[in-house]
Structure 1
Amino acid sequence: MSTNMSRTPKKQKKKDAPIFAVRQRSEGPIQDGARSESPHSRDHEAAPADSSPASRADIKGLQAFITAELERTTRTLSAEIQAVGERTAHLEEQAGRLVEYCNDLAGHAETMEHRVQWLEESLEDLSNRSRRNNVRLRGLPESVSPEELQDTFLGIVKRLIPDVPPQRLLLDRVHRALGPRRDKTTTPRDVIARFHYYNTKDLLLKAARTQEAKYEGSTILFFQDLAPSTLARRREWREVTELLRRNDIRYAWGFPFKIIVFKNNRSQAYSYLYQAKDLLRAVDLPIPPSLADLTPPQPLPRLAQDWLTPGD
């Protein structure tokens, strides 16, 4: 008896897929701009294709290669980091020295500024002391010739202080202020006269405050001869002095340069314009807006070291 027996198919043996497949060399030149292959890749490409799985030895060899590459890269990076650190430390050290030098220069500049200011004030005081016997006459027409200046000047002085004996009216010199001759439409140049006796000059200025002097219809004014720098500093105080005069507050000019204010039988002296606010507060006067922002000179800025060295 024939029996139909079914044929059972044999199980096909499953093949292991390779872990690493060798990349085949591409035909023709590289068109994508990629880097050229390393010698290792060329060696692999030159080898024949093998679809067999990687062995344990292959894996260990690859691990050793990767470990060596990592160590080499680490050593390279460590060397570069150390070099950058050394350069950074050197630059910070240089910057620290520059900060110290800059701050030292700022200190020297402030010292020199104080010394120059002291020297300028001393020279100004010396100039004013050398002019103590001088008086300025303003308003005398230019028509008066240099030869007539002394006689004309003495004639005006005698009308103001007639009681002074002639021997006390001795003049060392009389001349016009420097500058070109002016026409009749402009203010004539001042006349500067130096009295031999200081007391005579002082009497003349006191008399000129209460009496009016004229010459051919022109009003003659007398002033103390002062250094140009002193006149410029007095002009800076003009707004303050106008306030004092409007409020009937007495003041006087001192030497070296200062303004002295009298109130309630007390006097206070101020030398610099930024002190105007203190002066007005002392005499109970309002501070004008133009003087509200005045501040004393500020010191030169100093640089700070904004970085810290390791361990600080």
Structure 2
Amino acid sequence: MSQPKSRRQQDKLDKTNFFSQKKVAALAIQSAAADQQDGAEHSGGSSPGSEADSPQNGGLLTITTLKQALEEQSQRLISIWQSSVAELKRDIQDIGSRTTHVETKMEDLIDAHNASTEQIKSLSSQLQHCETKIMDLEDRSRRSNIRLRGIPETILQADLPSYVHGLFKALAPEVHTDMLLLDRLHRIPKPQQIAASLPRDVLLKAHYFHVKDLLMRRSRTAKNLPMEYAAIKMFSDLSAATLRQRKTFQRVTETLRANHILYRWGFPVRLIASRNGTTTTIHTVEEGLDLLRQWNLPVVGDSQAPKGPRQVEKDWHTTN
């Protein structure tokens, strides 16, 4: 805290007066010495009656006066300095108290932040668990659905049942026609990632799940299908949330394919990889990346994953 302007001006004036008095005293001493020398030259001695008025006594009086002035000025300067030092000490103590208060508040904020970080992690885990449950329920409601891609738009809605039955008989000729019962069959809007030249997908629901499962397995290994069915592709009907979740495993699946490691998808979303006769289930992307590093496999497109909130360390200790 700075001194008031009038105080600084007074200190400056006192110092100026002090040095002016020193200069006057020095001149007085020089004058007294000169008078004493002149008196010695013009008079060989002095009478006892004029001893008090001699130049020597005048010089002593001047020195005594100068000493008193110096002592007074010194006391004034000491008083000024003591006052300034005391005020500076008060300022330092005030700054120290405020700094201690700020550090204490920062410690409280760090404790609150770290507690919030742990709570966020816990809530994120619970939210992920709930989302996984919802995805699983939605996928279970779609478990009997089949998505057919590549059926020409020239096949009208009225002709779709006979066309699809023909495809299924080509895939599984041993299945009786009564077992190929369909609960519904229709085209669905085209996804944005599908080229405009391609026909819309056909969505159907098989009445018997074991028949649907057989048809899906046969479609993966089917060969020499009739020409009209050769370009047809069959997919499971999955929820949008499941597809997004599977996409997050892209780096893991690309690395597995690059190293010719077989894998398949499980429900809820998880990867089941087989390597050297050992089957490993991967529930999260982090688990998959750690597993690939344990296998010493370079991760395709590996990059620094975004980090969540982290704990903050205290860099100081509050002292009293």
Per the TM alignment, residue 227 of structure 1 is displaced from its structure 2 partner at its CA by 2.6
Name the structure 2 match of 1:76: 87
**Structure 1 residue 308 corresponds to structure 2 residue 311:** no
**Structure 1 residue 221 corresponds to structure 2 residue 196:** no
**Structure 1 residue 145 corresponds to structure 2 residue 152:** no
Which one of 217, 239, 248 corresponds to residue 254 of structure 2?
239
Name the structure 1 match of 2:172: 161
Backbone CA RMSD of aligned residues? 3.7
Per the TM alignment, residue 150 of structure 1 is displaced from its structure 2 partner at its CA by 2.6
SS of the equivalent of 1:219 reads: coil
**Structure 1 residue 38 corresponds to structure 2 residue 38:** no
**Structure 1 residue 58 corresponds to structure 2 residue 69:** yes
One-letter code of the match for 2:206?
F
Name the structure 2 match of 1:26: none
Q: Please say if residues 289 and 299 of structure 2, whose CA atoms lie closer than 8 Å, have aligned partners that are also in contact.
A: no
One-letter code of the match for 2:264?
A
**Partner Cα distance (1:176, 1:82) in 2:** 80
Question: Structure 1's 309 and 107: CA in aligned 2 closer, same or farther, altered over 3 A?
Answer: same
| Structure 2 segments unaligned to the other structure (5+ residues) | 1-8, 29-61
One-letter code of the match for 1:62?
Q
Name the structure 1 match of 2:125: 114
One-letter code of the match for 1:107?
E
SS of the equivalent of 2:300 reads: helix
Per the TM alignment, residue 243 of structure 1 is displaced from its structure 2 partner at its CA by 4.1
One-letter code of the match for 2:125?
H
Q: How does 1:250-269 map to 2 (within 5 A)?
A: 250-262=262-274, 266-269=278-281
Which one of 104, 110, 126 corresponds to residue 99 of structure 1?
110
One-letter code of the match for 1:148?
D
Q: Please say if residues 260 and 267 of structure 1, whose CA atoms lie closer than 8 Å, have aligned partners that are also in contact.
A: yes
Residues 201-255 of structure 1, C-alpha deviations (whole Å, 9 max, x = no match): 11212332333444636522222222334445267144244246x4xx6543221
Name the structure 1 match of 2:297: 287
Name the structure 2 match of 1:204: 215
Q: Please say if residues 139 and 218 of structure 1, whose CA atoms lie closer than 8 Å, have aligned partners that are also in contact.
A: no
**Partner Cα distance (2:146, 2:121) in 1:** 38
Question: Structure 1's 220 and 231: CA in aligned 2 closer, same or farther, altered over 3 A?
Answer: same
Name the structure 1 match of 2:184: 173
Q: Give identity over the alignment, percent.
A: 29
Q: Please say if residues 271 and 282 of structure 2, whose CA atoms lie closer than 8 Å, have aligned partners that are also in contact.
A: yes
One-letter code of the match for 1:168?
M
SS of the equivalent of 1:38 reads: helix
Per the TM alignment, residue 132 of structure 1 is displaced from its structure 2 partner at its CA by 0.7
What TM-score do the two structures reach when normalised by structure 2? 0.68
Name the structure 1 match of 2:282: 270
Which one of 116, 120, 123 corresponds to residue 134 of structure 2?
123
Q: Please say if residues 292 and 298 of structure 2, whose CA atoms lie closer than 8 Å, have aligned partners that are also in contact.
A: no
Question: Structure 1's 62 and 287: CA in aligned 2 closer, same or farther, altered over 3 A?
Answer: same
One-letter code of the match for 2:254?
E
One-letter code of the match for 1:164?
V
Q: Which moved more, 1:191-200 or 1:252-261?
A: 252-261
One-letter code of the match for 2:110?
V
**Partner Cα distance (1:128, 1:83) in 2:** 66
Paired positions, count: 268
Q: Please say if residues 169 and 200 of structure 1, whose CA atoms lie closer than 8 Å, have aligned partners that are also in contact.
A: yes
**Partner Cα distance (1:119, 1:219) in 2:** 39
SS of the equivalent of 2:190 reads: coil
Residues 4-46 of structure 1, C-alpha deviations (whole Å, 9 max, x = no match): xxxxxxxxxxxxxxxxxxxxxxxxxxxxxxx79637968998x
Per the TM alignment, residue 198 of structure 1 is displaced from its structure 2 partner at its CA by 0.7
Per the TM alignment, residue 116 of structure 1 is displaced from its structure 2 partner at its CA by 2.6
Residues 70-101 of structure 1, C-alpha deviations (whole Å, 9 max, x = no match): 22222211221222122111211222222222
Q: Please say if residues 140 and 191 of structure 1, whose CA atoms lie closer than 8 Å, have aligned partners that are also in contact.
A: yes
Q: Please say if residues 265 and 271 of structure 2, whose CA atoms lie closer than 8 Å, have aligned partners that are also in contact.
A: yes
What TM-score do the two structures reach when normalised by structure 1? 0.70
